[in-house]
Amino acid sequence: MAVSGKKIKRFLWGSVVVLGILALGLGTVIYREVFFKNVNTGSESSQYLLIATGSTFDDVMKDLKENRLIKDEKSFRWTALQMKYDKNIRPGRYELKAGMTNKDLIALLRSGRQTPVKLVINNIRTKGELADRVSKQIEADRKSLLAIMNDSIFLSTLGFTRDNILVMFLPDTYEMYWNTTASQFLKRMKKEYDRFWTASRLKQAAVKNLTPQEVSILASIVQQETNRDDEKPDIAGVYLNRLKKGWKLEADPTLVWALGDFSIGRVLNVYKEIDSPYNTYKYAGLPPGPICLPTQASLNAVLNASSHSYMYFCAKEDFSGYHRFSSTYEQHLLNAKRFQNALNKRGIRS
Per-residue pLDDT tens digits for 60-95: 999 999 999 999 999 999 999 999 999 999 999 999
Find residue 176's DSSP bridge partners: 117
Q: Quote the domain boundaries for residue 244.
A: 200-345
Cα dist from 174 to 47, 120, 299, whole Å: 21, 6, 19
Largest alpha-carbon pair distance within the chain? 131
**Could you tell me if residue 209 is left (phi over 0), alpha (psi between -120 and 50 degrees) or otherwise beta?**
left
Average pLDDT, the chain: 91
253 and 316 co-located in one domain? yes
- 17 lies in some domain: no
Reply yes or no on whether the pLDDT at 35 is more than 60: no
In a domain, 18, yes or no: no
Q: Which of 35, 38, 66, 37 is nearest to 50 (CA)?
A: 66
Pick the last residue of a domain from 174, 196, 218.
196
Q: For residue 43, what pLDDT is reported? A: 84
Same domain? 121 vs 162: yes
Residues in Cβ contact with 116 at an 8 Å cutoff, skipping those fewer than 6 apart: 93, 175, 176, 177, 178
Same domain? For 332 and 278 the reply is: yes
Same domain, 212 and 341: yes
- Residue 4 placed within a domain: no
CA dist., res. 179 & res. 202, Å (int): 33
208 and 324 fall within a common domain: yes
Do 331 and 205 share a structural domain? yes
**Total structural domains within the chain:** 3
Q: Tell me how long the chain is.
A: 350
pLDDT digits (tens, 9 = 90+) for 103-152: 999 999 999 999 999 999 999 999 999 999 999 999 999 999 999 999 99
Last residue of a domain, one of 58, 84, 111: 111
Residue 224 and residue 329 share a domain: yes
